């Protein structure tokens, strides 16, 4: 359904865009219908950048992203609307998705005008109430309310209900659980599990190992924009191969702690021809790590980008 082929993203920054930040490097992965893939990594590792490129909100610098075989870069204006009917995103801060001066359910009016202009009012109200109930909301309690009258969890659910009305095939969920309190977190997590059971694919972006482990079929560990390890969730968490993943799993024995947050910004060039992106922090680093590692498959579907795993005796 979705496939990324050697996708990189370089942002232009600074006065007149003279500087560059390499946010994602040569990332490849695929997502099948009904599959949940977690993209995990510490702050600044490029997760949201990948999410925004998949949502076609940001162009790739190199490489390609295809949905049902069609490259997103080939979509024209009209096709893009059709794409967003099939692929939607829900983001970390639910409040930012709403205009505080309008009632929260205005998002549904806009949705109807945009995508369902011919559906008559009675039918639309039935569909809307059905979608609200499906995400565990009582339509009477949430309709006609302003964003400040609703909780973060309720606002997240309204956005998920929006995705349900569109009957999307892929949901990009970017840190949607982090801002919620503990009890709401479990509800939204269970809701995502329901969506998966209905056949919706989810790109689940998080820096929380426990959440990734709970929900996903496969995980991709990013370090400074590079995939260092990817594979079935069980394999990666129970048998991590990359020194970085090992360190993280060892440091979070209950798998429910947050990752360390760093304010590191990747300069362009790092990891590019200069060697392994993790070499500066890696306890196993040796002479061969001055070349960028080529991912190898250590078990079915379990890929690791590390020379020392590829050639432990060296
Ligand atoms: N619009 C932008 N312009 C320039 N640099 C950007 C832009 N957006 C992100 N970056 C940089 O790209 C890198 C990756 O950012 P990104 O937001 O994708 O990381 P993230 O993994 O989502 O982090 P977090 O966990 O904090 O949300 C960071 O170094 C960030 O500073
Ligand atoms: Mg982010």
DSSP state for residue 15 in the 8-state scheme: G
63 CA from centroid of ligand 2 (Å): 21
Note the pLDDT tens digit of each residue in 169-209. 999 999 887 767 777 777 778 888 888 888 899 999 998 88
Show the domains of the chain with their CATH numbers. 2-310 (3.40.50.300)
Closest CA to ligand 1's atom 16: 46
Which whole number is the average pLDDT over 36-43? 93
The pLDDT of residue 269: 46
User: What is the number of the ligand 1 atom nearest to the C-alpha of 265?
Assistant: 29
The pLDDT of residue 7: 97
Give one DSSP letter per residue of 101-168, joined into a string.
TS-TTHHHHHHHHHH-TTS-HHHHHHHHHHHHHHTT--HHHHTT--GGGS-HHHHHHHHHHHHHHTT-
Instruction: Look up the pTM and report it.
Output: 0.87
Q: Which residue has the higher pLDDT, 150 or 177?
A: 150
User: What is the number of the ligand 1 atom nearest to the C-alpha of 12?
Assistant: 4
Listed range (15-24, 27-36, 63-72, 290-299) with the worst mean pLDDT? 15-24
CA distance 129 to 56: 29
Q: Which ligand is nearest to the CA of 24?
A: 1
Note the pLDDT tens digit of each residue in 233-291. 999 999 999 999 998 888 765 555 555 555 444 444 444 456 888 988 888 888 888 88
Q: Which residue has the higher pLDDT, 92 or 55?
A: 55
Give one DSSP letter per residue of 261-310, joined into a string.
P----PBTTTTSSS--TTGGG-TT--GGGGSPPPPEEEETTEEE--HHHH
Encoded tokens for 157: 């659910």
43 CA from centroid of ligand 1 (Å): 8
124 CA from centroid of ligand 1 (Å): 38
Give one DSSP letter per residue of 56-116, joined into a string.
TSS--SEEEEEETTEEGGG--HHHHHHHHHHEEEE-S-GGGGS-TTS-TTHHHHHHHHHH-
Residue 118 has pLDDT above 70, yes or no: yes
What does pLDDT average to over the chain?
Answer: 86
Find the distance separating the first CA and the last CA of the chain, reported in whole Å.
39
Q: Which residue has the higher pLDDT, 256 or 46?
A: 46
CA distance 168 to 114: 15
Q: Which residue has the higher pLDDT, 127 or 273?
A: 127
Report the pocket of ligand 1 as residue ranges, CB < 6 Å. Answer: 11, 13, 21, 23, 41, 43-49, 207, 265-266
Residue 219 has pLDDT above 60, yes or no: yes
The pLDDT of residue 264: 46
Closest CA to ligand 1's atom 9: 49
User: Sign of dihedral through CA atoms 236, 283, 39, 304?
Assistant: negative
* Band of residue 91 on the pLDDT scale cut at 50, 70, 90: confident
CA distance 62 to 69: 17
The pLDDT of residue 250: 82
Listed range (136-140, 143-147, 150-154, 263-267) with the worst mean pLDDT? 263-267
């Amino acid at each position: 359904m979705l496939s990324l082929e050697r996708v990189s993203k370089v942002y232009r920054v600074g006065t007149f865009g003279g500087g560059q930040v390499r946010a994602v490097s040569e990332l490849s992965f695929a997502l099948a219908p009904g599959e949940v893939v977690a993209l995990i990594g510490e702050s600044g590792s490029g997760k949201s950048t990948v999410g925004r490129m998949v949502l076609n909100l940001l162009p790739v610098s190199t490489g390609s992203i295809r949905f049902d075989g069609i490259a997103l870069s080939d979509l024209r204006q009209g096709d893009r609307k059709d794409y967003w009917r099939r692929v939607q995103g829900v983001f970390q801060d639910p409040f930012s998705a709403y205009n505080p001066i309008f009632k929260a359910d205005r998002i549904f009016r806009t949705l109807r005008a945009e995508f369902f202009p011919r559906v008559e009012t009675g039918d639309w109200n039935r569909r809307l109430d059905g979608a609200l109930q499906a995400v565990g909301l009582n339509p009477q309690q949430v309709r006609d309310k302003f964003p400040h009258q609703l909780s973060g969890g309720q606002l997240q659910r309204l956005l998920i209900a929006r995705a349900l009305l569109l009957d999307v095939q892929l949901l990009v969920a970017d840190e949607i659980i982090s801002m919620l309190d503990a009890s709401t977190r479990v509800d939204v997590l269970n809701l995502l599990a329901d969506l998966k059971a209905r056949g919706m694919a989810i790109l689940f972006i998080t820096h929380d190992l426990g959440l990734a482990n709970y929900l996903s079929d496969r995980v991709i560990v990013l370090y400074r924009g590079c995939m260092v390890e990817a594979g079935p969730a069980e394999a990666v968490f129970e048998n991590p191969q990359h020194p970085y993943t090992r360190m993280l799993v060892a440091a979070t024995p209950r798998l429910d702690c947050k990752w360390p947050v760093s304010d590191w910004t990747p300069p362009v060039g790092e990891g590019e021809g200069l060697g392994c992106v993790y070499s500066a922090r890696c306890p196993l680093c040796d002479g061969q790590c001055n070349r960028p590692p080529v991912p190898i498959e250590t078990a079915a579907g379990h890929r690791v980008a590390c020379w020392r795993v590829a050639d432990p005796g060296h």
